[in-house]
Structure 1
Amino acid sequence: MTQPTHDEAHGGALGTRLNWLRAAVLGANDGIVSTAGLVVGVAGATDDRSALLTAGLAGLLAGSLSMAAGEYVSVSTQRDSEKAALAVEKRELREQPEAEFEELVGLLADRGLSRAVAREAAEQLTRRDALRAHARVELGIDPDELANPWHAAWASFLAFTVGALLPLLAIVLPPAGLRLTVTVCCVLGALVLTGWGSARLGAAPPGRAVLRNTAGGALAMAVTYATGSLLDVAGA
């Protein structure tokens, strides 16, 4: 008989994958939508290729650096919190090991183990590495895989840059009469792909993710294009 496949991710693997997914998807989507909104807004006011290129490059650089800095600060705060929690747990294990042991037994029992099995498991985990056992069971932290701010920053920087290149190239490469159409089509197509990909990697239904991505991108481009057109008509 064919064994059933089992594709679920568990524990730290899922947490790590979702962290990378979050940074990559947010970076790519933000790069696509913000740069598309910027260049489409400028296109509403002018069809000058150099103006579009300058605006797109400025948006790409500002956005990618901003995303990287934001992720670095956010994940650094998370890492500091994890390290502080581990330090507290380490001190408690040193000062009151019996109470911490009973706490571990209780946590394991709360997960469905009988009291006897929970106590045996706690004894084995404590002998192997008490701090690691408490970190994983009590805090939900893997001491060997603390959040890495540099990884998150680079992932966001690269994802934003890749996403931003699409609308930038789409607005400057085609002839003037096709720029807007090509850009809108490319952006909406890319948002469909990123929405579908993020949903699939996160084991979620793709419909809502795709709809959110495309609706948000379309709205952003419509608003900025209308604003650019109004400014052009007003002679601003």
Structure 2
Amino acid sequence: MDPAGPAEPAHEGEAHGGGLGTRLNWLRAAVLGANDGIVSTAGLVVGVAGATSNRSALLTAGLAGLLAGSMSMAAGEYVSVSTQRDSEKAALAMEKRELREQPEAELAELVGLLEDRGLSPEVAREAAGQLTERDALRAHARVELGIDPDELTNPWHAAWASFLAFTIGALLPLLAIVLPPTGWRVPVTVVSVLAALVLTGWAGARLGAAAARPAILRNALGSALAMGVTYAAGSLLGAAGV
């Protein structure tokens, strides 16, 4: 018996599930959707606040921006992911047909792909044979196409996720511009938006395993510029009586 006791499994507790990458992609998409909702709605309501202090006008503009933005995000994501899903299904159908019509050629192709990944010819042939016996289509889908047949993208999930993320993000500047007293509306909105963007920038960087400071600075400076430009434009239009 080993005096050191049983060996601990390598990387114990580390997540290696096949859906981890997909979950991280969804989280990144949610963070980016919320970020878009914050920035676009903040620019809109601060611009309107530069032209008028009327609460109804601010609320109307903010709600219009929230609904238009969230619906646009949802529709765009649905179309984009539907196109991706159609391409994945077409690729799987073609691979299935090729496996049925020319199995030897497909097996040789799988061997070559495994060799390209660093396996020796002998090990590649053995691995390809075992993978083909177990599930040939899944093996080719993952190795050749980079597709997991069990986790095809869902356009409705993507659409709802984008809609909700944008809506949640847009609610912050909307509430910040209509709830405080007149003189505090713009300062409260600016501070709230910048604080939220620091958080989304940090979260997006962490999920993408990137440095947090550049992401935070990009978020904050870009939003500050957007709010400054729209507020100046709104102030000029308001002064001109437009």
TM-score, structure 2 as length reference: 0.92
Match of 2:59 in 1: 53
Q: CA deviation at 1:8?
A: 7.4
Match of 1:232 in 2: 238
In 2 relative to 1, CA 126–152 (structure 1 residues): closer, same or farther, beyond 3 Å? same
| Paired amino acid for 2:71 | L
Match of 1:91 in 2: 97
Q: Distance in 2 between matches of 1:176 and 1:95?
A: 73
Asked if the contact 2:37/2:168 (under 8 Å) is kept, the reply is yes
5+ long unaligned stretches in structure 2: none
Q: CA deviation at 1:19?
A: 2.7
1:181 aligned residue (181, 187, 204): 187
5+ long unaligned stretches in structure 1: none
Match of 1:129 in 2: 135
In 2 relative to 1, CA 11–87 (structure 1 residues): closer, same or farther, beyond 3 Å? farther
Match of 2:222 in 1: 216
Q: Distance in 1 between matches of 2:151 and 2:18?
A: 8
More displaced 10-residue stretch of structure 1: 136-145 or 12-21? 12-21
Match of 2:152 in 1: 146
| Paired amino acid for 2:189 | T
1:203 aligned residue (206, 209, 214): 209
Number of residue pairs the alignment of both structures matches: 236
Q: Distance in 2 between matches of 1:199 and 1:96?
A: 45
SS at match of 1:144: helix
More displaced 10-residue stretch of structure 1: 212-221 or 130-139? 212-221
Q: Distance in 2 between matches of 1:4 and 1:205?
A: 27
More displaced 10-residue stretch of structure 1: 179-188 or 25-34? 25-34
Once superposed, which parts of structure 1, at least 4 consecutive aligned residues long, lie more than 3 Å away?
Answer: 1-15
In 2 relative to 1, CA 206–86 (structure 1 residues): closer, same or farther, beyond 3 Å? same
SS at match of 1:230: helix
